Each structure stands twice: as C-alpha cells, then as structure tokens.
Amino acid sequence: PPPFTGVWLGDSKICAIGVHCGHYITSHGLALNCCTDLTWFDHIVPCGLEGKGVTSLSCQLGRHVTVDHVLQPFLDCFQEVFDCTLVFSEDSG
C-alpha cells in the first residue's frame, strides 16, 4: 500500500523492488516470493515495516509455485510492458 514500494497483497508484500546507485553505476532488481520459506521472516522486521507481513505466490494460490513456473510468463510480460526484446548471453562472465 502507498507509500511503500514493492508489490502488496493487502498488508503483505509479495515482491520487493530495489534500486542501488553507486560509483556511477545504477542497478535495479526485484525479488518475487514464489515458494519462499516465510518462517525466516518471523525473525526480522521485513523491510523495516512494523505490522506488515510477507507472502508468496505459493501461499496465495494454495499450491507449490516455483521460479521455473513463473520465469517465462514474467519475461514475456516484461517484454510486452517495456516494448523491448530481451537478449540472453551464454557467457555470464
């Protein structure tokens, strides 16, 4: 919920979005909780937000949802929304 960043379902965050700027480089990313073990969040205050929770696709849909399940649909939607073509490199180094 505004003014908080990320993707929320009620008072629970399902996706964190971040930007980092430093040394003339900007990087950005996201973390979508697919089948995350949410018990780890019992030991911290997620994102420093008291009274807010964390959820996952698996929890919300009531079935096991892996990254492999969502990766291609996510990439397809990303290309459509940003009107771009993703290029993948075999050499990650």
Catalytic residue IDs: 47
**SS3 letters for the chain?**
CCCCCCEEECCEEEEEEEEEEECCEEEEEEEECCCCCHHHHHHCCHHHCCCCEECCHHHHHCCCCCHHHHHHHHHHHHHHHHCCCCCCCCCCC
Q: For residue 66, give both structure tokens.
A: 């892996």
Amino acid at 18: G
